[in-house]
Structure 1
Amino acid sequence: MNTIWKGVLGVALVAAVGSGAAIGTSAYMMNHQQYLVSGDSTSNVFSQPVRMVNYASVAAENTDFTMAAESAVHGVVHIMATQNADESASQRQYIDPFEYFFGFGGGGSFQRPKAQPRVGAGSGVIISTDGYIITNNHVIEGADELEVTLNDNRKFDAKLIGTDPATDIALIKIDAKDLPTIPFGDSEKLKVGEWVLAVGNPFNLTSTVTAGIVSAKGRGISLGSGDKSKIESFIQTDAAVNPGNSGGALVNTKGELVGINTAIYSETGSYAGYSFAVPISIAGKVASDLKQYGTVQRAVLGVQIIGVGDIMDQLSMPNVPDKYKEELKGMKENIKVSEGAYVAEFADRSVAKEAGIEVGDVIISVNGVKVKSANALQEQIGKYRPGDKVTVKVNRKGTEKSFEVQLKNAQGSTKVVTPSDGTELLGGAFKALTDKEKREYGVSYGIEVTGLTNGKLKDAGIKKGFIIMVVNNQRVKTPEDLEKIVDDILHGRAEDQGLFIKGFYPNGRTKYYAIDLAE
């Protein structure tokens, strides 16, 4: 499939190593909720009192929100994020005109303006009685100081536990006890048309509650600059959300947390009819990973997908080039369902392909949960961790087939990744050269860069397909060899502070790269 045309189609890279569009892992959120709220000390991640909920119950017909609102406002906090002024940058950017033209100051009376700190505000949700708080990454990104104000006006300094830009979720903590929490609900059981409340601090107005209905689920809105590492499967509502609401709670009429308010659709920057929340099925799993491991344990399925609906929409567009319209028609011939995620291609190392899934299959469910679109598949895989096994059901030209797939991480393993993990820092996936490849390249060892995410390798200019031969004068025969070199540096077991990499591209061009790991 033509690369440029993929962008036109909006191909969602579902955990395809090399794109960074990882689709995450762990049925622990909904299938094993004990890791969030259980009293079992071996699985309890966040300290919350156990609250049993009868999901057979029906929301009050008179849509009385008072109990839900009263419960939720105490679990939502105001966050003040301060980025200290960079005095040196201010000095560099400001030029005294007297000094510039005449070489002397203005008689000592001219004062350079003092750089001012940048202050932003947002919301957060208390998810643990001992002070863990979920918010948005964009609320706290770049902040040097974080101040949390509770609903009872108590103020605390907060520390950052971890962030995940891919889902725009962050976890912070304050030193407090016996805090009110909002119990986790089940975002997958939300229905379009169901009433929800948005609780937050818009325009620095504390404890504000607005109501609306769920307008759509699994919505993708292309946040940012088209970064394909983003995982977008939002709950769309018409509850009024404005600047300052980011990181606040979306709750159902039972007062349960079902999402983290994240974005609005607006041409003015203020509420214009629709708001979007990260489902708690994703946000809760991300927060749990950040607490346990310091980074998200993101699993990958290893497929490139296009929503069935997107294919049909593109076919109906008048300006589609004939060449690609034929390609779309070829896809359509394989599709016998109206919803799902069409498998367009595989990653270099794809667990889906290994399990028996084929190009042209339409993924229609994961572990029994219906998949209606590419975004919905992102959400489902986003709940799992590497090593988890999922049942993926596909429709293959009208016949349904099920496959058991063991998910892996972007590096092709099931091991836990930590913030200090060398592979995570480099942002690459690797594999040892096969005997056939060694013969083709005329070498006896080496590892191939099979995929890249945001990290040191990508920053240095290394491209997918690069063959690493030598790092810091050491031969590299396996991915484990590279990991050991990096880990030795990170843990002070080596004199080197960076990597000097020698290798070549399949076209025979030799390249050298220097990477500073201390930056």
Structure 2
Amino acid sequence: YILTNNHVVEGVTEITVVLVDGRQLSGGIVGIDPYTDLAVVKVEGTNLPVAELGDSDKLVIGEPAIAIGNPYGFDHTVTAGVISAVNRSVEIDRAAGQALEGLIQTDAPINPGNSGGALVTAAGKVIGINTAIVSQAQGIGLAIPINSARNVANEIIQYGEVRRPYVGISRVTEIDRYLAARNRLPVNEGIYVSSVVRGGPAASAGLGSGDIIIAVGGQSIVTVADLKKAIYKSDIGDTLEFTVVGSNRRERTVKVVLTDAPAGR
């Protein structure tokens, strides 16, 4: 199995994997996870090299980091730097609340073509999957921690997809003070629920259109990304407490039992 970025293989119909010894193998996509920008590709062959995985939870700021990839078509390129920070976030689609969370930041040069490549320690252990560079700045590359990537890969290999908890909220809007003032809302921050899925977990628990989510599990919710993060760090079957303000301007707690997402959601 080969772990790479979703955006690297998205939309492709044919995959050829070229090994360092020159062998070319046909690959097939096992599954993708757009939420974490990860994908798993499978190849058949013998004597295939296997990378040793490190522990991204034990990274130390300032320790050496090496990025491997094919920037601008220059294959087998190795660049070096250090671990600059951990637990970084980068917003991909604000409207959809899509953001990559918990990323490793490095100053090892990462350019277009590095995506899907390995970020390794000085000992050659994989600690991350290179995924993004902050375009408006120099020396800021980002990688998905290997511990998180490994969990996603295991789910994809076992199920063909990543199973995540499902709440059944279909349309939401982020509230800011301007929107709150214009619509005379009772709070200046939170997530306005426009609609919920009939018969879904949220609707069954009593959360509905017109409610404003201000906290989940005791954590304040300001953005759609906050809401998704609170849900996705929970497990299927968990009961999650939503603190909401209703159209009557009263605050209440709604306990939602998370289910497996139905097909297509």
TM-score for both structures, normalised by structure 2: 0.68
> Is the partner of 1:223 in helix, strand or coil?
strand
Query: What does residue 250 of structure 2 align with?
Result: none
In 2: Cα distance, 1:407 partner to 1:256 partner: 39
In 2: Cα distance, 1:242 partner to 1:145 partner: 24
- Check whether the contact 1:220–1:375 (CA below 8 A) recurs between aligned residues: no
- Check whether the contact 1:299–1:382 (CA below 8 A) recurs between aligned residues: yes
Q: In the alignment, is residue 424 of structure 1 matched against residue 263 of structure 2?
A: yes
In 1: Cα distance, 2:234 partner to 2:25 partner: 33
2:92 to 223, 236, 240: 223
Query: What does residue 279 of structure 1 align with?
Result: 145
Query: What does residue 386 of structure 1 align with?
Result: 236
- Check whether the contact 2:6–2:39 (CA below 8 A) recurs between aligned residues: yes
Q: In the alignment, is residue 292 of structure 1 matched against residue 158 of structure 2?
A: yes
Query: What does residue 84 of structure 1 align with?
Result: none
Q: How does 1:472-483 map to 2 (within 5 A)?
A: none
Query: What does residue 160 of structure 1 align with?
Result: 29
Query: What does residue 408 of structure 1 align with?
Result: 258
In 2: Cα distance, 1:406 partner to 1:186 partner: 34
Distance apart, 1:207 and its partner CA? 1.8
- Check whether the contact 1:161–1:290 (CA below 8 A) recurs between aligned residues: yes
Distance apart, 1:184 and its partner CA? 2.4
In 2: Cα distance, 1:169 partner to 1:209 partner: 21
2:134 to 265, 275, 287: 265
In 1: Cα distance, 2:45 partner to 2:157 partner: 17
> Is the partner of 1:424 in helix, strand or coil?
coil
Q: How does 1:69-468 map to 2 (within 5 A)?
A: 132-224=1-93, 226-267=95-136, 272-299=138-165, 321=178, 327=187, 344=190, 349=201, 359=215, 362-363=218-219, 385-387=235-237, 408-409=258-259, 411=261, 423-425=262-264, 427=265
In 2: Cα distance, 1:407 partner to 1:377 partner: 15
Distance apart, 1:375 and its partner CA? 7.2
- Check whether the contact 2:91–2:100 (CA below 8 A) recurs between aligned residues: no
Instruction: Look up the equivalent residue of 2:160 and give its one-letter code.
Output: G
Alpha-carbon distance change, 147 to 225 in structure 1, aligned in 2, over 3 angstroms: farther
- Check whether the contact 1:238–1:275 (CA below 8 A) recurs between aligned residues: yes
Query: What does residue 244 of structure 2 align with?
Result: none
Alpha-carbon distance change, 226 to 242 in structure 1, aligned in 2, over 3 angstroms: farther
In 2: Cα distance, 1:162 partner to 1:276 partner: 23
Distance apart, 1:240 and its partner CA? 0.5
- Check whether the contact 2:2–2:41 (CA below 8 A) recurs between aligned residues: yes
Alpha-carbon distance change, 196 to 410 in structure 1, aligned in 2, over 3 angstroms: same
> Is the partner of 2:12 in helix, strand or coil?
coil
Distance apart, 1:134 and its partner CA? 0.6
> Is the partner of 2:84 in helix, strand or coil?
strand
> Is the partner of 2:65 in helix, strand or coil?
strand
How many residues end up aligned between the 2 structures?
225
Q: Which has the higher strand share?
A: 2
Deviations 1:421-449 (A, max 9, x none): xx312x2xxxxxxxxxxxxxxxxxxxxxx
TM-score for both structures, normalised by structure 1: 0.37
Distance apart, 1:194 and its partner CA? 2.9
Alpha-carbon distance change, 322 to 374 in structure 1, aligned in 2, over 3 angstroms: closer
In 2: Cα distance, 1:406 partner to 1:360 partner: 10
In 2: Cα distance, 1:206 partner to 1:249 partner: 13
Distance apart, 1:147 and its partner CA? 0.8
In 1: Cα distance, 2:229 partner to 2:146 partner: 10
Alpha-carbon distance change, 388 to 285 in structure 1, aligned in 2, over 3 angstroms: farther
Alpha-carbon distance change, 145 to 245 in structure 1, aligned in 2, over 3 angstroms: same
Larger radius of gyration: 1
> Is the partner of 1:152 in helix, strand or coil?
coil
Deviations 1:36-59 (A, max 9, x none): xxxxxxxxxxxxxxxxxxxxxxxx
Alpha-carbon distance change, 374 to 181 in structure 1, aligned in 2, over 3 angstroms: farther
Distance apart, 1:359 and its partner CA? 3.8
Q: Which has the higher helix share?
A: 1
Alpha-carbon distance change, 166 to 322 in structure 1, aligned in 2, over 3 angstroms: closer
In 2: Cα distance, 1:186 partner to 1:406 partner: 34
Instruction: Look up the equivalent residue of 2:49 and give its one-letter code.
Output: P
Distance apart, 1:291 and its partner CA? 1.0
In 2: Cα distance, 1:359 partner to 1:376 partner: 9
> Is there any run of 5+ residues in structure 2 with no aligned partner, and where?
170-175, 207-213, 242-254
> Is the partner of 2:152 in helix, strand or coil?
helix
Compute the RMSD of aligned alpha carbons: 3.9
